[in-house]
Amino acid sequence: MRYMEKGGFKQHELMRLTLSLSLLLLFCFWLTNFAMYFTHMGLNPQTVVTYYCGSDDGFQVAKSFAGLAEVSHFHFAIMAIVILMLTHLVIFTPWKKQVKTGIIIIAFASAFFQEASSWLVRFIDPAFAWLKVLSFVSLQAAMAVLMVSLGAYLWFWQKSHPDKNIDRLENQSG
């Protein structure tokens, strides 16, 4: 943990490599989020209602309870892991605590409401479609901010006081 906190990973090329490649894959995940969302609906709340509640005009069937449960089961787990990893790493950036707290809350809340809003639209009230659109935009923005800031921290931000003994300290502590 001290290795991350003190920025020692920046001098360790394999750590930088694995973190950089993880960010690359997460960037691809982020891009496919757009593709999946816009394949089925748009930023107009009516497209969300049509997708989840169906449409007689377009011969589109409403999403079933079982279908939503199956998707939610996977999405809640994956988003927990992805958002946990991104927000955990952002803790080590030089941002102010209030900024870190804000982005962490926004990321987790938007991920939760992105999934929960599907259920709200389908089974409670189609008027919750605005929440689906807002949470999608918020989640994508939060993930972009997290990935860009982590990439910048990894590759561009310099430590003001590099700890040359970080490896020795890590070996001594455990």
Q: What is the pLDDT of residues 22-66, one digit of tens each?
A: 999 999 999 999 999 999 999 999 999 999 999 988 788 999 999
Task: Please say if the pLDDT value at position 172 is more than 80.
Answer: no
Return contacts of 45-48, CB within 8 angstroms, 24+ apart.
45/129, 45/130, 45/132, 45/133, 46/129, 48/121, 48/129, 48/132, 48/133
* Residue 103 · residue 87 · CB < 8 Å: yes
Write down the pLDDT at residue 41.
96
pLDDT of residue 4: 54
pLDDT of residue 94 exceeding 60, the answer is: yes
Q: CB count, 10 Å around CB of 55?
A: 13
The pLDDT tens digits for 113-135 are 999 999 999 999 999 999 999 99
In whole angstroms, give the CA distance from residue 12 to residue 6: 12
Q: What are the DSSP calls for 67-97, one per residue?
A: HHHHHHHHHHHHHHHHHHHHHHHHTTSSS-H
pLDDT exceeds cutoff 50 at 87? yes
DSSP secondary structure, 5-39, as one string: HTTGGGT-HHHHHHHHHHHHHHHHHHHHHHHHHHH
Mean pLDDT of 76-99: 93
Percent above pLDDT 70 for the chain: 83
Q: What percent of the chain has pLDDT over 90?
A: 68
Per-residue pLDDT at 58: 78
* 109: CB partners within 8 A, 6+ apart: 138
Does 150 have pLDDT greater than 50?
yes
36 contacts: CB under 8 Å, gap ≥ 6: none
Which of helix, strand or coil describes residue 55?
strand
Q: CA nearest 146: which of 79, 109, 96, 93? A: 93
Give dist(CA 131, CA 34) in Å, integer: 17
- Taking 70 as the threshold, does the pLDDT of residue 148 lie above it? yes
Question: DSSP 3-state assignment of 168?
Answer: helix
